[in-house]
Structure 1
Amino acid sequence: MKDGGRLAAAIDVLTEVDTYRRPVQDGLKEWGRRNRFAGSGDRLVIGNLVFDALRHKLSLSHIMGSTGARAHILATYALTWEFGVDGLVAALADDRFAPEPATAEERARLESADLDGAADHVRADVPEWLWSQFAAAYGADAVAEGQALARRAPIDLRVNRLKGDRDRVIRRMGHLPLEPTPISPVGLRLPPARAKDKAPHVQAEEGFRKGWFELQDEASQLAALVATSLAPTQVLDYCAGGGGKTLALAGELGNRGQIYAHDALKLRLAPIYERLQRSGARNVQVRDPQAATLDDLKDRMDLVFLDVPCSGTGVWRRRPDSKWRVTENALQGRLREQSQVLDAACGFVRPGGHLLYATCSLLPCENQQQLGAFLARNAAFEPVSLGERWGALFGEDAARPRFSEEGYATLSPATTGTDGFFIGLLRRREEG
């Protein structure tokens, strides 16, 4: 396919996604099923167009004076991908499967690309109903935070200390432009692909199959490093999901102690078994929620790690369609779920032990405010400041997150170059 046909296909997919509020991957898969003539390269470019259009949906709508899929896709090709108006006109003229040629008004809007007078939430590409929370949390930096969330994300890898070190992985994967992550001592980063380019398929690498590394954003790595800096010997990963944090904890603890991996849904735990085998982790016990209880762990854990379900606002770089599908009702449901998880999990912390609460959200209602409400009803716990120990953990020159008054850390693309992520550390007071 030529670019004109790809533009037409992207418009069709985005129209369906907007109309039916369906996940982009489902829309792309259905388009591919109906159009089997399209090759993998075509599907890649079409997907990239759609995802990038969604990343900048509000600002492109303002520039083009239209909320339609056509306007978003044409502007993505000309502006975000930097082919310019001339490049777009040529692409539309060079293919009989292309959309209609750009109108005089479309060309004029693309040439001016004017955001003057746009509201802050439009310039930030943040849904209007969420903007008050962004503005309250980030003040004068709120627009910059939103704009950083609208860019493509890099690919971050976590080196598995059980099977090697960062230098070894770099040497063995020298064909890729890997660089050490700025903060995490076990992280490696690949820059985001540009425009039509394809990101490397790192899961096809020998190192991945042999367990030398896992895909994991640097922010998640930092949460695990904070947790293991407490030198726990008994750990409960209460919302383990597919096991990413469990594997990171096992690697940092060097297979010492005991980690219990639990999740309320058995299906979410399914990937953990293969990943554990590949990683060489031997200090992990998976607690199947249908086959075992956690009663024997009450009041025994040095650390309870809670990476709770959340709105996902911090990972909009990776899932831009979720930005426009999240609803106020869904957010309220997440808030109730987080509160319930906190109340259920805190009973496993021993006196003097710690609870680490994490989300991939940038919304204060899911983070500082959620922990504030928990502490108000649980006098046995107190906050532990991460601000006082950040430099000691990661170096005095390391980028610093935003720290709340209590010392909770909020990481973001704009401040730390990571996904949006919240880390709050609590300690259970000693009895008596």
Structure 2
Amino acid sequence: MTPGARISAAIEVLDQILAGQPAEQALLRWSRSSRYAGSGDRAAVRDLVFDALRCRNSHAALGGALTGRGLMIGGLCAAGQDPALLFTGQGHAPAPLVAGEGAGSAEGVSNLPDWIRPLWDQSLGDSAQAVAAAMQHRAPVWLRVNGIKADAAEAIRVLAGDRVDAMPDPRLATALLVTGNERRLSQSRAYRDGLVELQDLSPQLACATLPVAPGMRVLDYCAGGGGKTLAVAGRSDRLTLVAHDADPARMRDLPQRAARAGVKVRLAPDPAGVFDLVIADVPCSGSGTWRRTPDSKWRLTEKALLDLVALQAWILRKATAHVRPGGHLAYMTCSVLDPENDAQAAAFLAENPDFRQVSRHLWTPLDASDGFFLALLARR
């Protein structure tokens, strides 16, 4: 596909997203109906779509309209390119520009929904504007080295054998930043053999702070794909690992991932008993990961956020029953919004005086990678 044809495809996908279709669904539908598009074309169209969604408002202002066409014109203007060179109408390129297109200004335009901007500023304080700006750029790819099978140096060597470039992070021995050929990762031997797992730096840092010791019983209460379970598994031996999720289908890949990592995890549709550590990485707005899933920030509503906060409180009440006296509850979100983070932890502590807060962390793209929150709570 020519650059112009890729832009035409991105316009088609964006119009479907703006009409209400989730981004992944729209991209998949386009891919299935465009058999002529190679893997490089599909990756390029995806990048165009996600870049446009991260900067939806400012690109629409520059391009002259909140449409797929307007977003693509605005994106080229923001990158310092002349859209007229690609909007030629020749071949599969989009039609030439008309009066007013590409002549707008993005001065003072925010790439956050209007209703959430005050809450964003309140939650992040002096760093609000810088974090919002960071969310307009593509997120890096991070790996977690599985200490059961390799160290960072060995993982880097094996990745290099498949032409995947990675470098260690000085803050955490298990963290590797992928610096080249990230799309080869899923086919690499290091990934297939369980030497590395995809996991962002921020949750890696969170899991590294958890109190884990040999022989402990650990319950991952909202396990999903099991990333936190496997991160904890790599920190100590003789752990009893139990994973639970309200929707067991979310855990369908966990047995395979655990086998690849060389650990044993028991899936528990209805967990019983008490544990030394309970991890509750609860459903949330995902505001800390909006640069990875930029369409979700435009779909989030005030009511949906209130519903999420209520669900988080309910999950915490359920998880509390599984924390033994003297044990720990790790409350986690991939959000940067205060109602889901500090306010939620404060409400829990007010309702449960037998718990105390041991530590609290909020990571953002300014000091780690994704936005991620941890409140470590201890039962007295």
Distance 1:40 1:153 in 2: 20
2:315 is aligned to 341
Shift, 1:231, TM fit: 6.5
Partner of residue 222, structure 1: 205
In structure 2, the residue matched to 1:366 is 340
Length, aligned pairs only: 378
Q: CA deviation at 1:145?
A: 0.9
- Is residue 412 from structure 1 mapped to residue 327 from structure 2 by the alignment? no
Per-residue CA deviations over 1:259-299 (Å, capped at 9, x if unaligned) read 211112110111110011111013x3221x1xxx433x13x
CA contact (8 A) 1:28 1:47 kept: yes
Instruction: Tell me how far apart the structure 2 counterparts of residues 232 and 376 of structure 1 sit (CA, whole Å).
Output: 31
- Distance in 1 (alpha carbons) for counterparts of 2:63 and 2:89: 23
CA distance in 2, matches of 1:310, 1:363: 10
The amino acid that maps onto 1:263 is: D
* Deviation larger for 100-109 or 312-321: 100-109
| CA 1:252–1:308: 2 relative to 1, 3 Å | same
Q: CA deviation at 1:229?
A: 5.0
Aligned position for 2:146: 160
Query: Hey, what does 1:150 align to over in structure 2?
Result: 136
**1:244-259 to 2 correspondences below 5 Å:** 244-253=227-236, 255-259=237-241
- Residue aligning to 2:117: 131
Show the counterpart of 1:171: 157
* Aligned-partner residue type, residue 146 of structure 2: N
**8 Å contact kept, 1:7–1:74:** no
CA deviation profile, 1:108-166 (whole Å, cap 9, x unmatched): 44xxxx433x2xxx33x111111111111222321211111121011100000000100
Aligned to 1:242: 225
Q: Deviations over 1:296-334 (max 9, x none)?
A: x13xx2111111111111111111111111122221221
Pick the aligned partner of 2:172 from 172, 180, 184. Answer: 184
Distance 2:280 2:376 in 1: 10
Query: 1:26: which partner in 2?
Result: 25
Q: Is the 8 A contact 2:333 2:372 kept in 1?
A: yes
Segments of structure 2 that go 5 or more residues without pairing to the other structure are: none
The reply to whether residue 211 of structure 1 matches residue 194 of structure 2 is yes
RMSD after superposition: 1.9
Residue matched to 1:105 = 100
Aligned equivalents of 1:27, 1:280: Cα separation in 2: 36
Partner of residue 425 from structure 1, selected from 360, 372, 376: 376
Q: Post-superposition shift, 1:79?
A: 2.5
Amino acid at match of 1:286: L
Counterpart residue number, 2:40:
41
1:76 has 2:59 as partner: no
Per the alignment, residue 52 of structure 1 pairs with 51
8 Å CA contact 2:14–2:67 kept in 1: the answer is no
User: Structure 1 residues 9 and 180 mapped into 2: Cα distance closer, same or farther (>3 Å)?
Assistant: same
The 1-side partners of 2:113 and 2:208 are apart by: 33
Tell me which of 275, 300, 318 is aligned to 2:257: 275
Residue of structure 1 in register with 2:266 after alignment: 285
Q: Which runs of 5+ in 1 are unaligned?
A: 386-407
1:328 to 1:266, Cα distance in 2 relative to 1, 3 A: same
Query: When you count helix as a share of all residues, which structure comes out higher?
Result: 1
Residues 43, 187 of structure 1: alpha-carbon distance in 2 compared, 3 angstrom cutoff: same
- Where 1:189 maps in the other structure, the secondary structure is strand
State the alpha-carbon separation in 1 of the partners of residues 231 and 126 from structure 2. Answer: 35
Distance in 2, Cα, partners of 1:261 & 1:225: 18
Cα distance in 2 between the residues matched to 1:190 and 1:176? 7
Conserved 8 A contact 1:228-1:252 = no
Amino acid at match of 1:256: R
CA–CA separation in structure 2 for the residues paired with 1:223 and 1:361: 13
Q: Counterpart of 2:223 in 1: which secondary structure?
A: coil
SS at match of 1:323: helix
User: In structure 2, how many angstroms separate the alpha carbons of the residues matched to 1:104 and 1:62?
Assistant: 15
Tell me if the contact between 2:147 and 2:234 (Cα under 8 Å) persists in the aligned partners: yes
TM superposition shift of 1:107: 4.4
2:8–2:93: 8 Å Cα contact kept in structure 1? Answer: yes
Instruction: Identify which range, 182-191 or 264-273, moves more after superposition.
Output: 182-191
Q: Which residue of 1 aligns with 2:324?
A: 350
> Share of identical aligned residues, percent?
40
Q: Which amino acid aligns with 1:272?
A: L
The equivalent residue for 2:8 is 8
Three-state SS of the structure 2 residue aligned to 1:330 is helix
Q: Which residue of 2 aligns with 1:391?
A: none
